[in-house]
Amino acid sequence: MTPTPEDLLTRASVDDEVLALRPDYRALLVVVDGIVPAAGDSGSEALLVAAEEHARELLGRSPVEELAHVAAWREAYRAFGAKPQRTRNSLEALTRRAPKGLPRVNRLTDVYNAVSVLHQLPLGGEDLDRYAGPPRLVRATGAEPFDTTADGETVVEHPEAGEVVWADDAGVTCRRWNWRQARRTQLHEGTTTALFILDALGPMDDDALTAAADDLVGHLAEGAQIRSWRRLLGAGGGLSAGS
């Protein structure tokens, strides 16, 4: 049975072994219900253009790997044995791509990709109706299933032992903290209820993290009667209901 937003957020957790790697880590989980599936529009296009220009400005002043939050995430990846040059966190991957053009997928995906680049934080989106139990950030045993694609075919892989992963009761939903999402829970054309995970390390304070969530929810509220809930993990945050 699909968990309610309140139940899912109440039972969401970050394992102590993950916080031991990065005590400064915080995850702001945001559930948005009432999303109206739609193609990209003038609003989402303007947001993508603004994100692309912001990335050009940032990279005109500094190499991507020296941007404060990107650099912190590279250190976090090294802490559990990943090689950030080979498996880039989602923020770095989008920021590198942005100057030449971000992908245009649909309004929902375009908005959250743009917010990620504009606010310079990893931001993942998942379809809540496809979740099996609450999200948990853990260090993998290596036995958990992860469904992905290889050469156009659906395959099941497994994370490396000790890898930091998001998982639910059915398996891994995102590998290497914020590197690659599973196909099972990914956003799709018909998504109406989404879980967003906004990741922050030391260079980003809680006010900036909250501002990113506010921006995301604000853009998704345009032309839709949404409800939202959020919870901050890793710093004693509680559950709160939004609009």
For the chain, what is the largest distance between any 2 Cα atoms, rounded to a whole number of angstroms?
A: 49
Query: Residue 14's beta-bridge partner residues?
Result: 137
- The per-residue pLDDT string of the chain (243 residues; one tens digit each, 9 = 90 and over) reads 667 899 999 999 999 999 999 999 999 999 999 999 999 999 999 999 999 999 999 999 999 999 999 999 999 999 999 999 899 999 999 999 999 999 999 999 999 999 999 999 999 999 999 999 999 999 999 999 999 988 888 899 999 999 999 999 999 999 999 999 999 999 999 999 999 999 999 999 999 999 999 999 999 999 899 999 999 999 655 555 554
Query: Taking the mean position of all CA atoms in its chain, how far away is CA 160?
Result: 20
Residue 152, pLDDT score: 83
Q: How many CA atoms lie within 13 A of 132 on its CB side?
A: 8
CB–CB of 154/122 below 8 Å?
no
Residue 238, pLDDT score: 53
Backbone φ/ψ region at 130: left (φ over 0), alpha (ψ -120 to 50), beta: alpha
Residue 15 and residue 139: Cα distance in Å, rounded?
A: 8
